[in-house]
Chains A and B, each alone.
Chain A
């Protein structure tokens, strides 16, 4: 008697996750098409399809689609997906909405390394990307080791991460005062995240990494659900808590790291994707895939708005996500508080 309502509820939930994911996927495709077709040179949808399929198109279309817009849009989708997944993994792992990679120092490490590369060492942007990835991995390893004490307690991880992140942020400020002002300003992109001038050079390593990381994240989905119950319950269910946590952390860090290396730490995407997904699904259970899709929608939309809809100067996507995303979170907090559900 008690089992059937639970089963029915589970089914309803699975159905809702599917419906929401499909709608989000449609939204991603629509925004993707929009960012390919809209710009100072308008391209019609049939022309885009023809160009993508390699069929003859009007002059210039192939160049604009294949060289300028396609890599940028692909990077936007992959970066958004990666940030959304990474944020969801971290927040659910630590059971704390503050624990997204941008809060606990992962992206701060990437930013510091990239600013060091560009402003001080003056290396190429591809090397800077590699250094950003290295910075993210190194910082995460440091945070993990520093918070290790017979296992990595979730709360301690956040505390140590915030400490390390704040120290790195001031290192970044320091580096910015040491460089020529023009190069320092160029490296600001690495503090907010931008999709300007992304080429296939960024797409290739990013998509290879995502081909490994996304399936890994989805396989580990069950572990997330187990760890959400708390360490003791998860152990009781026969889980190896520390090994699963480490595996999830590695996947989460790599996702955040490759995304930051490709486009900089696009502000707030990792932070807000998962709370939005939870709201859309409405059950409060871990939902990795919708969070990733929301990340992709947010980055695509932010890049489009920043490039085309805000006055004369194109703004980087990270500025838009920060300016739009943060008030959204504040609003979320305020309304949740009014109805008495605020934490």
Chain B
């Protein structure tokens, strides 16, 4: 027995290293591919000896590096957040979209554009974050009222209700305000384009704290996954563990949505794929999700740039088109419903 366990640990560790290497390759791909063809040597040159007078170097440093960094951060955040939400709610459907987080961020962004007259992405970041946080706290509070705490069904229902209410308010503003709608529709699809380094730097501390909290709570997530009663009998403070996990989710989802707009399916699909490799142990599931999600996001972003060259299809569309079939395939598997 100990032998297989050691072998399994070795295999999973190797898998992590391979995934990290794949992620690095995807990041390089994201730096190399784009509307303007730039040779790989020049990309390397721009990375290590940037020359501000060289136009091609400028494209790399001003456009492709920031969007790749935002993709890495937002991807890692979405993957981790998805894995944590699914563990806490024991709900295979749990996703920022389902829990009303995206709708909250969207409403606040619309409010910012329409009422406060904010027109820069830097301004949206904070509003998106605040909206995501408020929506998740309200959904979670309503979902956890009464006996039994935050059961999957109650949280999912509260999230769906919240999304519908917020979306109606958002639409009410958009119907009467063309200028706001014009800005908002490009935010709403979810994209990495046009994100500067300042956005990545703003998001970084939040994502970092979220990652630390999430990775530190893997043991309590393992306990929660067994059900509240078992977790309590294992000496776990269920309420505290849930609140800590919820804080991590708000930080991660909120920041990802703030940086890149609402991106669906990544947080939903990636943990399921990771779970096929790692099994239910969150000590492995979380790191894998954290690497797989940015990998998916960066590849989707590159794909979006290739298929519509010289324009591009926003990454949120590509992840939906890639993610939906995977999700449907997963839903057809018998075991998914019994997570």
Contact = CB atoms under 8 A, between A and B. Distances in A.
Q: Do A and B come from one complex?
A: yes
Interface in A298-321: 313, 315-316, 318-321
Interface in A125-184: 146-147, 149, 155-156, 159-160, 162-164, 166-167, 169-171, 173-174, 176-177, 181-182, 184
B176 A313 contact: yes
Given A181-B181, A319-B175, A333-B161, A338 B146 contact: yes
Interface residues of B, number: 54
Contact of B154 (A182, A315, A333): A333
A167 B324 contact: yes
B178 A182 contact: yes
A327 interface: yes
A170 B316 contact: yes
A316 B174 CA distance: 12
A264 to B, nearest CB: 11
Contact of A267 (B153, B168, B189): B168
Nearest to A176: B185
A185 B181 contact: yes
B331 interface: yes
Nearest to B313: A174
A315 B331 CA distance: 38
B contacts with A: majority SS: helix
A184 B327 CA distance: 29
Nearest to A163: B327
B18 interface: no
B165 interface: yes
Given A181-B181, A323-B169, A188 B324 contact: no
Given A164-B328, A333-B157, A171 B146 contact: no
A268 B174 contact: no
B328 A163 contact: yes
A173 B169 contact: no
A271 B158 CA distance: 13
A267 B168 CA distance: 8
A188 B328 CA distance: 28
A163 B327 CA distance: 6
Given A163-B324, A319-B175, 17 more contacts: A98-B156, A98-B160, A146-B328, A146-B332, A156-B332, A159-B336, A160-B328, A162-B93, A170-B189, A173-B185, A185-B181, A318-B171, A319-B169, A322-B169, A326-B166, A340-B146, A342-B151
8 contacts: A98-B157, A102-B164, A159-B331, A181-B178, A267-B168, A325-B165, A342-B148, A342-B151
Interface of B: 92-93, 97-98, 142-143, 145-148, 151, 153-154, 156-158, 160-162, 164-169, 171-172, 174-176, 178, 181-182, 185-186, 188-190, 264-265, 313-314, 316-317, 320-321, 323-324, 327-328, 331-332, 336-337
